[in-house]
């Protein structure tokens, strides 16, 4: 949340006026932050994990993940050309929102695993290598274009081993072709 927003809301409450919702400059980044802070203990909040507020779906962001229950994670529908690890222009915008999210409090001191996932089209070995290259492409963009500390990011490719939507071999499913970001530790 933007640092001005809580102060504005507090001032409005103290003055007895209505608290108008302020439009977010980047609703995608806000959605990513909500998902990545699930289960995260934030210093100064009595060790209580924040509650996940319900928000309308945001294009490119899916709260459904294959991470452990209660672990902060988000699936990003980062699109790559078929068989490629090159980010499309749409994906570059989504990675920019991810970078904005990683630069907000309380995430500035947190480490993350960037996971590459594929669908079941193609061989297992090819999908494994492709998922590793795609995770690395997102990490590299975060580091080189947005200045995210590389020590905060690790990558791992899972190929077709952790499908978000179960499908038979050889069936394309866009929701399985994703990059998942998982919260590791502050």
pTM above 0.85, yes or no: no
Which has the minimum average pLDDT: 13-17, 52-56, 111-115, 125-129? 13-17
Spans of all domains in the chain: 26-185
Which of 177, 186, 139, 184 lies closest to 158 in space, CA to CA?
Answer: 177
Average pLDDT, the chain: 80
Alpha-carbon distance of 134 to 62, in angstroms, equals: 18
CA distances from 65 to 10, 72, 108, 118, 182 (A): 34, 9, 22, 13, 9
H/E stretch holding 112: strand 111-116
Alpha-carbon distance of 67 to 75, in angstroms, equals: 10
pLDDT reported for residue 81: 73
Class (C level, CATH) for 26-185: alpha beta
């Amino acid at each position: 949340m933007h640092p001005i927003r809580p102060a504005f809301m507090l001032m409005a409450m103290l003055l007895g006026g209505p608290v108008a919702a302020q439009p977010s400059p980047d609703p995608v980044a806000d959605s990513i932050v909500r998902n990545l802070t699930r289960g995260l203990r934030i210093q100064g909040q009595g060790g209580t994990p924040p509650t996940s507020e319900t928000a309308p779906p945001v294009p490119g962001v899916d709260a459904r993940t294959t991470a452990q229950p209660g672990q902060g994670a988000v699936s990003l529908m980062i699109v790559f050309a078929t068989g490629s690890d090159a980010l499309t222009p749409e994906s570059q915008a989504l990675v920019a929102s991810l970078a904005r999210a990683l630069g907000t409090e309380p995430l500035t001191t947190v480490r993350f695993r960037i996971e590459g996932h594929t669908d079941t089209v193609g061989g297992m070995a090819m999908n494994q290598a492709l998922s590793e290259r795609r995770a690395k492409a997102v990490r590299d963009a975060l580091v080189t274009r947005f200045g995210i500390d590389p020590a905060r990011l690790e990558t791992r490719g899972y190929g077709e081993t952790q499908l978000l939507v179960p499908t038979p071999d050889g069936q394309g499913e866009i929701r399985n072709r994703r990059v998942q970001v998982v919260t590791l530790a502050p």
